[in-house]
Each structure stands twice: as structure tokens, then as C-alpha cells.
Amino acid sequence: MSDLHGYAHVYGDNVNTDVIIPARYLTTSDPDELAAHCMEDIDASFVGNVRSGDFIIGGENFGCGSSREHAPVSIKASEVSAVIAKSFARIFFRNAINVGLPALTCPEAVDDIDKGDELRVDLSSGIIENVTKARSYQAEPYPEFLRAIIAAGGLVAYTQERLSAN
């Protein structure tokens, strides 16, 4: 899981959970149904254009608003491999880790990545490579325990693995 590869979908500052997954779809917790409506109020073409492994690039305060877990679930179920932003709302960041969705902070990368750029990310080192522009950026790498939670698919799966190992 440390080598992620895909293309950039770029958004601005203060992308809130209401535009990540609009409240009208919160009657379900089915990840596939949530993915079918991910980002539709900010980018109606997202669902049709996103491919497995792609990245969402956000500005400051990505995931602000309500604390709904549906937002990172909808992104992960869209098969986005990670969100890269200048900063995250704390509850979104924690919810992303809880569901196994990497959320990387790297303002330098965000300022330089354009829509459609090809990216590679190494979670163990925090290196973000912009293949399109032949540039690299250093995000804060995750400590081993967070990489283990993400690799397991989220906090519940990680806890189940640890309990069964004991």
C-alpha cells in the first residue's frame, strides 16, 4: 500500500463534508451508494471521471463542516487512494484514518499540482511525486501505527487483526 499511483482531481479551500457527500444521501451507509454521489455538488463530473487509485487534492481546511464519517467513506469507496491537502479539519482527518483513507498534508504539493497530473505517493516516506512535472514534494510521513491502520483497511479491521493475533 505504500506505492499509490493515480491522477489528480483538484479542489480549493474549505471543501466541506456537505459537498463531499450531500446530506440528501445520508439515508444510507452503503459505501457503493455513497460513492455514486461523492463530490457531486462541487464537481458533477467527478463520479464519471475518477479512476481507481486517483487522488483528491484540496486546499486549506479540507473536510470541514459536520463530523460525518460518510465523507471519507464515500471518497474511499470511490477508490481514491489518498487525499492530499494543505490542511484538514481534525475530525475529517481522524475519520479518514479510521476508515483507512490516507490523508496527507503537503502545502507545497497542493500549490504545484494541476488537475490531471499523474502522481505517485509513498506513504512510508511521505514522498509525493508529480510524474507529469517531474517534481517531488515531502509530506509528513505517517508513523508505523497509522500506516498499519490504513493497510488493514481502517481502525475496525486493524483492531480485529490485533485481537485475533492475541
Residues of the chain with pLDDT under 70: 1-2
Give the chain's mean pLDDT. Answer: 95
9, burial (CB in 10 Å: exposed 0-12, middle 13-18, buried 19+): buried
The predicted pLDDT at position 113 comes to: 98
pTM over 0.75: yes
Sorted by where each starts, the structural domains of the chain and their CATH numbers stand as: 3-165 (3.20.19.10)
Q: Using CA atoms, how far apart are residues 122 and 145, in angstroms rounded to an integer?
A: 16
The predicted pLDDT at position 5 comes to: 97
Beta strands in 30-157 (DSSP E): 55-58, 82-85, 103-105, 118-122, 127-130, 135-138
Q: Using CA atoms, how far apart are residues 91 and 20, in angstroms rounded to an integer?
A: 14
